[in-house]
Amino acid sequence: GGQGATNTAFVYIALKPLTERKISAANIINRLRPKLNRLPGASVFLQPAQDIRIGGRSSNALYQYTLQSDSAKELAHWGPILLNAMRRLPGLQDVNSDQQNGGRDLFLTYDRTTSAKLGLTVQSLDTALYNSFGQAEVSVIRTQLNQYYVILEVAAQFLQSPENLRDVYPGASTNGHIPIAAVSTSQSNTIPLSINHTGLFPSVTVSFNLAPNVSLSDATARIEQMQRQLGAPTSLRSFFSGTMLGYQQSLSTMPILVLTALLAVYIVLGILYENLIHPITIISTLPSAGVGAMLALTLSNGDLNVISIIGIVLLIGIVKKNAIMMIDFALQTERQEGKGPADAIFQACMLRFRPILMTTMSALFGALPLALGTGTGSELRQPLGISIVGGLIVSQLLTLYTTPVLYLAFDRLRLRMRGEKLDEFHRGAGSVPGGA
């Protein structure tokens, strides 16, 4: 199928189901790329089909970087400079541009005086050109099963050079057959095949793919550094577009999303416990989950993408239940039995260890199929499962030790802020081995 420009086409290749092949689409592309790059007279770019694509502009690669200006001439100068600079960047491959200035334009000027003397009219000249190069539909052949359009044009060998105008003859004149070249002058120019726009302004979009083991964040940093070193004028505007723009926007909004979730958790826990300090104790268990998720993604050579970030957000709701079980029990013990914080949290650790372990293992084994599963769509599910499993393992190992310590530390801080003595804090601590 076509893709906008007259010299561009695309081909879809359907692979066998994943159960019938041993390699992924990315590996197939890596095998085909060196062979197809050697094709003479053509540039071939390969990319896996995307179910969700951000941005309406089609390109020859997954990621896009756009250069925009008010002047098409300025773009014609800086577009190739940007393209060559990005091709030199490590970690990028299949770098190409939608700026194609290799088109040929042939402008004919009729000599009306000469053509009139020879009995040729402008209409006859236009008709001869249209019949030769206009791909006119002159007839339709219909059969019982199909219909075929008859297209009138010259043979392919007469479409390669402006010199072939010498072989185009309009209708017979009073002086016999005369070629169009005898009654016209031609001027050939190099023009762009198309002028792309972003918004209302001309633009050049450079698309690229990432080399193996190169992250989007590293590629973004390298491109931004390269753009600063180019020294382009201020009239040129450069920005990421398409999938890269969506990636940057998601990263910019993610801290706000996480902070909003933490604030909501703090408010709800503060209302339930009627306490402003110990909700912080519960929230303090979350960094260990984030560290575990990042370690798991690193060890598995996974990417920090939208799916893995969703897994980290899910950990906010899963991991804090360890601290909730201990702190809720400790607070009830303090209020109902009158025990001190040290005794209360020690008893909570002893009695709530089993339910904490049971719930964590249930969530862990529930996420294992996502992390270890194969088959169609496994590439989408695995980052979610890996981030959840890694976060649960690390948080389980750490929170059992850090939560009691933080509980006592924050309770002591609460008493100091209220100006109370620490007798209440130490009450009952002697019965706990090593109690403070």
| pLDDT tens-digit readout, 84-96 | 999 999 988 888 8
Shared domain for 225 and 302, answered yes or no, is: no
Alpha-carbon gap, residue 253 to 309, rounded angstroms: 12
Shared domain for 283 and 167, answered yes or no, is: no
| pLDDT tens-digit readout, 359-414 | 889 989 988 888 887 767 777 788 889 999 999 999 888 888 888 888 888 888 87
Alpha-carbon gap, residue 373 to 281, rounded angstroms: 35
| pLDDT tens-digit readout, 43-54 | 888 888 776 667
Give a yes or no: residue 14 inside a domain: yes
Residue of 279 and 273 predicted with greater confidence: 279
pLDDT of the residue at 431: 43
Across-strand partners of 190?
Answer: 104
| pLDDT tens-digit readout, 334-367 | 888 888 888 888 888 888 889 888 988 998 998 8
Q: Which domain holds residue 208?
A: 2-102+195-246
Shared domain for 159 and 205, answered yes or no, is: no
Across-strand partners of 71?
Answer: none
For the stretch 135-174, what's the b/e string if a residue is b when 16 or more beta carbons lie within 10 angstroms of its beta carbon?
eeeeeeeeeeeeeeeeeeeeeeeeeeeeebbeebbbeebe
Residue of 273 and 327 predicted with greater confidence: 327
Shared domain for 291 and 398, answered yes or no, is: yes
Average pLDDT across the chain, whole number: 82
pLDDT of the residue at 427: 52
What percent of the chain stands above pLDDT 70? 91
Shared domain for 93 and 112, answered yes or no, is: no
Alpha-carbon gap, residue 360 to 326, rounded angstroms: 14
Give the number of domains in the chain: 3
- Please indicate, yes or no, whether the overall pTM of this predicted structure exceeds 0.75: no
Q: How crowded is the C-beta side of 202, counted as CA atoms within 13 Å? A: 16
Domain termination site, one of 227, 246, 265: 246
Whether the predicted pLDDT of 145 surpasses 50: yes
Shared domain for 321 and 209, answered yes or no, is: no
The two tokens of residue 309 are 């970030």
299 and 382 in contact (C-beta within 8 Å)?
no
Domain termination site, one of 162, 191, 220: 191
Q: How crowded is the C-beta side of 168, counted as CA atoms within 13 Å? A: 24
